[in-house]
Structure 1
């Protein structure tokens, strides 16, 4: 879990809107447009979430993505790991054995066990992973829900529904006689 990129933020924000759409698939393009973020960037995130079993795709004109399981069972860590992979927070380079005073062969005491700095970083990573694992998508959704006005979720649903309907409407026939 190296630096958490904007992909995690985009992915989490998009997933929050799927929490409010348990039966209606939402396209990644609509999720991106709704939030003013790059549709192509969001489109690259969702296959990772699908591979991890967080979302499932629904095909067709009114297709899109749905949560693959209950939001209570999707931890923030699940999302981070799906998007970023399980990269370590810290990549120890074993500098402790390179001291010029050691010459070509560092003494055993200098390199025995886990590097003290690496141990601190491992502890920090464990604390961060534990914290992210303790929060679910539902937990974050509840916080957002408490902050938003009562009618906001209906406005969101209406906007998403209108986008889905507009994709299924056929364009009017053009008059080719002129």
Structure 2
């Protein structure tokens, strides 16, 4: 079982694709298709990122998302918390008090203070959250950029721009068709 769900992974990757400034915003559908992930899930992730102030959205057929802040000012922790709500790594059930030998009356020595298991998990969570808070989107992107061929980023950018242009063309066509139908119906 993983600690964070697929939504966190998808959301972080989406944020990386939004780093490069685009003439037009990027739709959640295009982000989903680009990565081969479910569009329905992406349409639930992006509003969470917007609510957290990490992206801005533009409505409409030509709309989509852009980063709300510079990539060096957005941490992985902010993205994770926006999507998963800052849930803890470990949910201590405090079972130490349930030992059968206590016969339902656990002594204070066993229940006082933080459970040792819980304490280890809290330290581990603190370390993990510290690491995510030190890592910005720009840090991640630079690491990814070192591995990718030089033309990969521009190719992705062109694909996203083409998708946005195609949506705009489709919108203009739909408006023209609608206008023609109205004129025909009023002339009949």
* Same topology, TM > 0.5: yes
Q: Relative to total residues, which structure has the larger helix share, 1 or 2?
A: 2
| CA deviation string 1:10-36 (max 9, x = no partner) | 001111110013553100001111111
Q: Which structure 2 residue ranges, 5 or more long, are not aligned? A: 182-188
Q: Partner residue of 2:50?
A: 50
Q: Does the 8 Å CA contact 1:56/1:66 hold for their aligned counterparts? A: yes
Report the Cα distance in structure 1 between the residues aligned to 2:56 and 2:134, rounded to whole angstroms. 23
Runs (4+) off by over 6 Å: none
1:25 is aligned to 2:25: yes
Helix, strand or coil: the match of 2:65? strand
Report the Cα distance in structure 2 between the residues aligned to 1:119 and 1:146, rounded to whole angstroms. 38
Name the stretch that deviates more: 99-108 or 129-138: 99-108
Tell me the TM-score normalised to structure 1 length. Answer: 0.92
Helix, strand or coil: the match of 2:18? helix
Q: Which structure 1 residue ranges, 5 or more long, are not aligned? A: none
- Alignment RMSD: 1.9
| CA deviation string 1:60-83 (max 9, x = no partner) | 332100001011111101011000
Q: Partner residue of 2:41?
A: 41
Report the Cα distance in structure 1 between the residues aligned to 2:98 and 2:42, rounded to whole angstroms. 43
Q: Does the 8 Å CA contact 2:48/2:83 hold for their aligned counterparts? A: yes
Tell me the TM-score normalised to structure 2 length. Answer: 0.87
Counting matched residue pairs gives 175
Helix, strand or coil: the match of 1:65? strand
